[in-house]
Amino acid sequence: MDYIQLAFDLLGNPWIRGVVGLIVVGVIFFSAIVMVWLERKFLGDIQTRPGPNRVGGRFGLLQLVADAIKLFTKEDIVPENADKPVHAGGPIVALTSAFLMAVAVPYGVVSFEGSEYLLAVTTMDISALYVEAVAAVSIIALFMAGWGSNNKYSLLGAFRNIARMLGYEVPLGLAVLSVAVMAQSLDFVQIVSRQEQLAWFIFMQPLGFIVFGVALLADLGRIPFDQIEAEEELIAGVFTEYSSMRWGFAFFAEYLHAIVGACLVVILFLGGWSGLPFLGTLFIPPVLWFVGKVFVVIMVMIWIRGALPRVRIDQVTDLGWKVLFPYSLINLVWAAAVAMVVS
Amino acid sequence: MNGEIETQINLKPSEMLLHLGPQHPLQPGPFLLDLVLEGETVKDATLEMGFIHKGIEKILENRTYLQCIPITDRMCYLASISNNEVFCSGVESLMGIEPTERAKYIRTIMLELTRIQSHLLGIGEYATDIGFLSMFLWMIREREPIISLLEMVTGARLNHSFVRFGGVAYDLPAGFKEKTLRTLNEIRKKVEKHDEIMSRDSVYLKRTKGVGVLSRKAAMELGVAGPAMRGSGVDYDIRKVDPYLLYPDLDFKVITAPNGDVFDRVKVRLSEILESIYIIEQCIDMIPGGPFKQGYNPYLIKPKPGEVYSRVEDPRGEMGMYIVSDGTFKPYRVKVRGPAFATMQALPPLLKGAYMADNAAIASSMDSCTSEVDR
């Protein structure tokens, strides 16, 4: 126990806390880099091309470093008539919201000398609600980017963004609510432990999983829901007027959101860091379970990107209001009924 | 910024003028679409062409007949053999000669190969425009062996300059037949697979069914040509209407589709690829021996005075050339009637009332080539 005590003492020191915080930020950034690389390679496989294969050996491992150097050295262009603070603020707010989301996500537990320690930057009673709320901030960030650029294409992208948000935040929230009803808590840790007791919520409420998955894809703005930056329609949508590291921030924010989104799917529906029941005898640390599941979810997201064309914006809002919203209500009733029976 | 134009056309407060172009990721080449948007709906569209006018018709007047052939390539690099063919067959009828039997076969095969690769790239570009990047890369992959076949015969990948008056530039190389048959077999399988994806995928169907409907009547009035016209149910193909080379003797269908929407236009192209493969397979077994070009000096071509209109079925529709000879070494006047311009001018009426997002699907399903429009 001395070691644990020592660790807690060390964490009391603000300098140490700062260093730990930097490490956490680094890990989050690194995972985004890994995801970008994975996406390129896997999409390359789908599309029968090699993907990055020049920088950093056969597998293009250092491609992202080269891209980062390119982004840092490019000219930073701000349109003359742009609303400069708003234009500059867009990507920063997007990145901030991604980090605020990542803060509340627990990654697993570590057992040490009989007691379990949670791996998370912070825990709170309402972490699910908090993540939902902070995720919504990114939508404001995209609107800032679109509005501040003073470009018609950006503006159209910003409008599409708002239309999409109105349609999808509701089913997304209701799906999270159904999980909360079933777990009787808004705390991620409680939700995971409830799934360990009962069963993974993907089996308890499959409809909720589908609604959450589709709404999440739409919320993240990935193909088939990338209307706000549809290249062939709006050039680059809200990010048309961004260059250099401003664009880099927006790009990173997008991937961070995707990773945190995958974490949410795992925590809310795939049992978090709990292992598969029939593999119970096999010891795999909870953190590895968590990372493995997130990896699978991300691969599925990339696969969807490679396999589907883009949906039109009016069809997107149709899907949100006319399909996902009623289904999410049905799922909420179902979740409440099951929760009553179980308890 | 664009205040001058915007006040000229009296926009309502809820409307916005959007200049789509001259540079835009959607476009195959520079053209300007001025869209009046209300929200996401296009209220009005104006098309402006001519950003890359090359003056090809004038250039042709200042070249000898042989020198003209490479210039006709440059009208559209996806259809260079058709462009050669239309010029050469015109000059041939002015000179009163016929291509040799062997050359007819070679030219027919090359024309159909050109059609296949042009359709593959056209569908691929269209697929990216509706956000389906994977399909684009698959189409490029399928197109590559066809390009290699063309390169094997002509020595060039895009601008072939292959057809000559009364023949072709080179004979078929050894092993061409086997390689072609093998390649076409593979491509048929793959195209059938893509066809299946493009007729069953629900997201794709939602994007394309009933979008950008060009009625049969409108298609005929606007002079739309080729697959875009046949997609509206008009049974019009120069290969049947005014057959040239081997086409009178060949067995093939004119592919049409009834609805005239984006889905049908692309479907026609996909089916035409399969039909072209069938045509090549018919020809390739029967290629006769003999010379592949007429024995005359190509540098001394001097057709009798007169004029001729020759036409072929380009991958994009009816490609015609009106050639006037005054009995000298150079054509007196050449007027080109390209299919792409007719297809382009159907865009503004089609876009009216469409969604902004459908612009991409509609415009690229017409598969027009800006380079050929602005020749």
Burial class (CB in 10 A: 0-12, 13-18, 19+), B299: exposed
CB atoms < 10 A from the CB of B327, how many? 11
Among the partner residues B25, B26, B358, nearest to A312 by beta-carbon distance: B358
Neighbours of B217 (CB within 10 A): 10
Please give the torsion angle defined by the CA atoms of residues A112, A116, A118 and A119, in that order, rounded to the nearest 10 degrees.
Answer: 20
Which CATH code for domain B56-342?
1.10.645.10
- Decide if pLDDT at B1 tops 70: no
Cβ <8 Å between A232 and B358: no
**Identity at B22, one-letter amino acid code:** P
A87-99 pLDDT tens trace: 888 888 988 888 8
The two structure tokens encoding residue B323: 């050639």
CB contact under 8 A, A235 and B24: yes
Q: Cβ B40–A153 below 8 Å, yes or no?
A: no
**Which one has a higher pLDDT value, B313 or A57?**
B313
Domain boundaries, chain A: 1-73, 81-342
Type of residue at B24? H
Kindly tell me the burial class for residue A122, based on how many C-beta atoms sit within 10 Å of its own C-beta (0-12, 13-18, 19 or more): exposed
Query: For the residues B56-76, what does the mean pLDDT come to?
Result: 89
Maximum pairwise Cα distance, chain B: 72
Q: Is B271 on the interface with A (CB under 8 A)?
A: no
pLDDT in the model for residue A282: 66
Mean pLDDT across B134-163: 90
Interchain CB contact of B204 with A (< 8 Å): yes
| Gap between the Cα atoms of B190 and B197, Å rounded | 11
Judged by a CB distance cut-off of 8 A, whether residue B324 touches chain A is no
Which residues 6+ apart lie within 8 Å of A133 measured at CB? none
- pLDDT of B7 higher than 60: no
Q: Is B24 on the interface with A (CB under 8 A)?
A: yes
In chain B, % of residues over pLDDT 90: 15
Here the tokens at position B48 are 């402006």
Among B16, B138, B357, the residue with its CB nearest the CB of A227 is B357
Q: Which residues of A touch B24 (CB under 8 A)?
A: 235
Q: Which residues of chain A have pLDDT under 70?
A: 1-4, 8, 12, 112-114, 231, 277-282
Residue B60 class from Cβ within 10 Å (0-12 exposed, 13-18 middle, 19+ buried)? buried
B219–chain A nearest CA distance, Å: 25
The per-residue pLDDT for range B95-147, each reduced to its tens digit, is: 888 888 888 899 999 999 999 999 999 898 888 888 888 888 999 988 999 99
Q: How many CB atoms lie within 10 A of CB A80?
A: 8
Compute CA distances A75 → A84, A86, A238, whole Å.
16, 19, 19
Tens-place pLDDT, residues B210-264? 888 888 888 888 888 888 888 888 888 888 888 888 888 888 888 888 888 889 9
Q: What radius of gyration, in Å, describes the C-alpha atoms of chain B?
A: 21
Q: Write down the pLDDT at residue B3.
A: 45
Assign B148 a pLDDT band (cuts: 50, 70, 90). very high
Cβ contacts (< 8 Å) between B26 and chain A: which residues?
Answer: 232-233
Chain B nearest-CA residue for A308: B132
Q: Which of A301, A263, A327, A234 is nearest to A38 (CA)?
A: A301
Chain A hits for B129, CB-CB cut-off 8 Å, are 232
Contact (CB<8Å) A156/B206: no
Whether A309 and B201 lie within 8 Å, measured CB to CB = yes
Chain A contact set for B358 (CB, 8 A): 312
Pick from B190, B187, B208: which is nearest to B199 by CA? B208
Residue the block writes with tokens 């570590």: A110
Which of B2, B17, B20, B134 has the highest number of chain A CBs within 10 A, making it the mutation to test binding with A? B134
Residues A97, A102, A106: CA angle, nearest 5 degrees = 155
Residue B276 CB coordination number (10 Å): 22
Q: In what helix (H) or strand (E) does residue A21 lie, and over which residues does it extend?
A: helix A14-46
Q: Are the beta carbons of A48 and B137 separated by less than 8 Å?
A: yes
Q: Given this model, what pLDDT does residue B350 score?
A: 87
The pair of three-digit structure tokens given for residue A267, joined into one six-digit string: 């925590």
The 3-state DSSP class for residue A110 equals strand
Q: What is the pLDDT of residue A330?
A: 92
A37 CB-near residues (< 8 Å, 6+ apart): A52, A60, A61, A63, A64
User: pLDDT at position B2, please?
Assistant: 45
Q: B131 and A153: CB-CB below 8 Å?
A: no
Nearest to B134 among A227, A307, A311 (CB): A307
- Identity at B36, one-letter amino acid code: V
Region B16-45: what's the mean pLDDT? 83
What string of H, E and C letters represents the secondary structure of chain B? CCHHHHHHCCCCCCEEEEEECCCCCCCCCCCEEEEEEECCEEEEEEEECCCCCCCHHHHHHCCCHHHHHHHHHCCCHHHHHHHHHHHHHHHHHHHCCCCCHHHHHHHHHHHHHHHHHHHHHHHHHHHHHCCCHHHHHHHHHHHHHHHHHHHHHHCCCCCCCCEECCEECCCCCCCHHHHHHHHHHHHHHHHHHHHHHHHHCHHHHHHHCCCCCCCHHHHHHHCCCHHHHHCCCCCCCHHHHCCCCCHHHCCCCCCCCCCCCHHHHHHHHHHHHHHHHHHHHHHHCCCCCCCCCCCCCHHHCCCCCEEEEEEEEECCEEEEEEEEECCCCCEEEEEEECHHHHHHCCHHHHHCCCEHHHHHHHHHHCCCCHHHHCC
Residue of A nearest to B39 (CA): A156
Q: Nearest chain A Cα to B125, which residue?
A: A232
Report the pLDDT value the prediction gives residue A52, as an integer from 0 to 100.
85
- Closest chain B C-alpha to A306 CA, distance in angstroms: 6
For residue A159, list chain B residues with Cβ-Cβ distance below 8 A: 39-40
How many Å lie between the alpha carbon of B54 and the closest alpha carbon of chain A?
A: 26
- Amino acid residing at B273: I
Q: Span B46-70, mean pLDDT? A: 88
Q: Kindly report the backbone phi and psi dihedral angles of residue B260, in degrees, each rounded to the nearest multiple of 5, phi listed first.
A: 75, 15
Task: State the nearest Cα–Cα gap between A54 and chain B, in angstroms.
Answer: 20
Q: What is the pLDDT of residue A297?
A: 92
Test A307 with B135 for CB contact under 8 angstroms. no
User: How many percent of chain B have pLDDT more than 70?
Assistant: 98
DSSP 8-state secondary structure symbol assigned to residue A319:
I
Q: What stretch of H or E contains A208?
A: helix A206-220
